[in-house]
Amino acid sequence: MKITKTAIAVAISSAFLFGCDFDVGSENNSTDGGGDNGGGGLPPVENAQNYVQIQDSSVADTGILRIKTSESKSETVVDNIPVGFLTVDLTYQDNTAINGENAAANAYIQLHTTAGSSNAHLRGEIALGEGNVKYRDNSSSLVETGGTYTPGEELKVKVSWTEDEFSFSIGDDTYGPYAATSSDPVELISLKVGDSKTKADLELIADNLKIYSGTEAENELIFEDDFDNYGVGDELTNSRYNRAIDVMVLGNGEDNGGDNGGITPPPGDVTDNFDSYTVGTQIDVASPVYQLKNVDGVLNTAVISDDFAKSGTNSLRIEDGADSSTNNNKGIVGRDFAAGAANSGSVSTSVYIPTDGYVKASYIFLGTNNDSSSSGRFTEVVFTSSEIKYRDISGNQQSLASYSKDTWVDVTITWAGDDVTVNIDGNDYPTFKAENAGGSPTAMALYNGDNGSKGTYTYFDDLHSDLF
Ligand SMILES: [Ca+2]
Ligand SMILES: [Ca+2]
Ligand SMILES: [Ca+2]
Ligand SMILES: [Ca+2]
């Protein structure tokens, strides 16, 4: 299980760590090292929708979840943030288990600088308590803004800071700018509940924490956590966070057995409907079971989208946004089979080709690699401008059926040995021989476009195989 968690941590960090001097060595030296997400609790599972709960359930301690950007384990690419902003979804609500101590306790977002963690070293601080929105001024006093929030309601919070001011918004309400207490660069970012003299009757629920360096125009994401890749019950004591007191990951990411990360889809269900992920998240961050090639997140993207969906609200959107002027000229999303090569099996997905997104073809690849290399291609289904084709035994494309753009097309590829049958929208087409360039497939891959063009984008939903 430690290996699984470490693998997930590495997968997550690799998405953010472009150019970062991340200490892989210490992780390799320990099975429970600094890169491990684990702090107890159940193992992480696929498709979890988790969040973090911060309580103040003891008199002497204060509930806190803190990031220290200068720590390598924070996996941020900066030591501090002179100018920046963060976004987080917060719900501050009654915790009936602790009633009777301090019903007026505040929840806080604190930005401390490299000078230290006392009030004198704050860039800024926001407080929520008894329905009122407050901030700490530069003489250390908590000041009512006159704004309110609704306890128990999710609040979309953004906090921005410059060298000498901070400001924030909660939903559509904006506050500040207010004068900073310290103009040193920000190094500590904390979510906090209560104090060290009482127990709070309240809990702070947080999700989708994102921290950016620079202005909004620069949009440099340096830290992100949706808490979906931790197991339920994880206290985050051995994580990217500098401090985690009275903190626990909660949600629906419970282990229900099985050998593919804990998810055992019920019969008739699909392996991944993409509906539990946050829209806009890159697919390998949403779920580390996916491997990406040539997806730089700028030109070539592979993200959770709610533009179109076969099921629920979300699908996977892949865009080839790079032409021959770059080296990464089409992006690929791969997923391995859990038990390696499969002499027989099936993979299905639904495909949506928008008219506006059609420049070049879209592909469902099966082979002995997860990056669609033709040297390992077992077979492939291709959506051209109006036809669905397959690769024959010589690797040439042959027509299978016509299809319409701007509608979902259900595709199932089934194989037994070299014999391949493709079902489209419930209709089986004649069996053909696989190209079988490298042997029985070990993975599937989804991709689109080509090396010379850009502008193709395609949606995939309801990916399923018993082999995943
Ligand atoms: Ca306390
Ligand atoms: Ca979450
Ligand atoms: Ca879906
Ligand atoms: Ca391209």
Same domain, 247 and 369: no
Give me ligand 2 centre to Cα 51, in Å: 5
401-437 pLDDT tens trace: 999 999 999 999 999 999 999 999 998 888 999 999 8
Give me ligand 2 centre to Cα 233, in Å: 14
Same domain, 313 and 447: yes
Give me ligand 3 centre to Cα 139, in Å: 51
What is the total count of domains within the chain?
Answer: 2
12-65 pLDDT tens trace: 333 333 333 333 333 333 333 333 445 777 788 877 888 999 999 988 999 999
- Nearest ligand to the CA of 208 is 2
Neighbours of 4 (CB within 10 A): 17
Same domain, 191 and 236: yes
User: Does the structure show a pLDDT above 70 at 253?
Assistant: no
Give me ligand 3 centre to Cα 125, in Å: 39
- Residue 272 belongs to a domain: no
User: Across the strands, what pairs with 421?
Assistant: 414
Predicted pLDDT at 43: 80
- Residue 190 belongs to a domain: yes
User: Does the structure show a pLDDT above 70 at 240?
Assistant: yes
282-316 pLDDT tens trace: 999 999 899 999 999 999 999 999 999 999 999 99
Same domain, 222 and 307: no
Same domain, 365 and 234: no
- Nearest ligand to the CA of 225 is 2
CATH number of the domain where residue 406 is located: 2.60.120.560
Q: Which residues surround ligand 2, an ion (CB under 5 A)?
A: 207, 226-228
Name the pLDDT band for 325 (thresholds 50, 70, 90): confident
- Residue 261 belongs to a domain: no
Give the C-alpha separation, 411 to 420, whole Å: 13
- Nearest ligand to the CA of 51 is 2
Name the pLDDT band for 233 (thresholds 50, 70, 90): confident
Give me ligand 1 centre to Cα 468, in Å: 46
Give the C-alpha separation, 103 to 52, whole Å: 21
| pLDDT (average), residues 119-139 | 97
- Nearest ligand to the CA of 52 is 2
Same domain, 216 and 313: no
Give me ligand 4 centre to Cα 453, in Å: 4
- Residue 22 belongs to a domain: no
Name the pLDDT band for 318 (thresholds 50, 70, 90): very high
Give me ligand 1 centre to Cα 64, in Å: 10
Same domain, 406 and 456: yes
Of the candidates 112, 100, 99, 110, the residue with the CA atom closest to the CA atom of residue 63: 110
Give me ligand 1 centre to Cα 55, in Å: 9
Q: Give ∠ CA 181-222-297 in degrees, rounded to 5.
A: 150
Give the C-alpha separation, 225 to 48, whole Å: 13
Tokens 């390598």 belong to which residue? 72
Predicted pLDDT at 5: 30
Q: Model's pTM, two decimal places?
A: 0.51
**Which whole-number Å values give the CA distances from 251 to 41, 173, 229, 241, 264, in the listed order?**
12, 28, 11, 19, 17
Q: Give ∠ CA 151-154-155 in degrees, rounded to 5.
A: 90
- Residue 141 belongs to a domain: yes
Give me ligand 2 centre to Cα 208, in Å: 6
Q: Which domain holds residue 206?
A: 50-251
- Residue 274 belongs to a domain: no
Predicted pLDDT at 44: 82
Same domain, 94 and 139: yes
Predicted pLDDT at 291: 95
CATH number of the domain where residue 97 is located: 2.60.120.200
How large a percentage of the chain has pLDDT more than 90? 75
- Residue 79 belongs to a domain: yes
- Residue 35 belongs to a domain: no
Give me ligand 3 centre to Cα 47, in Å: 12
Same domain, 308 and 445: yes
Same domain, 173 and 286: no
Same domain, 238 and 286: no
Give me ligand 1 centre to Cα 101, in Å: 10
Give me ligand 3 centre to Cα 46, in Å: 15
Same domain, 144 and 215: yes
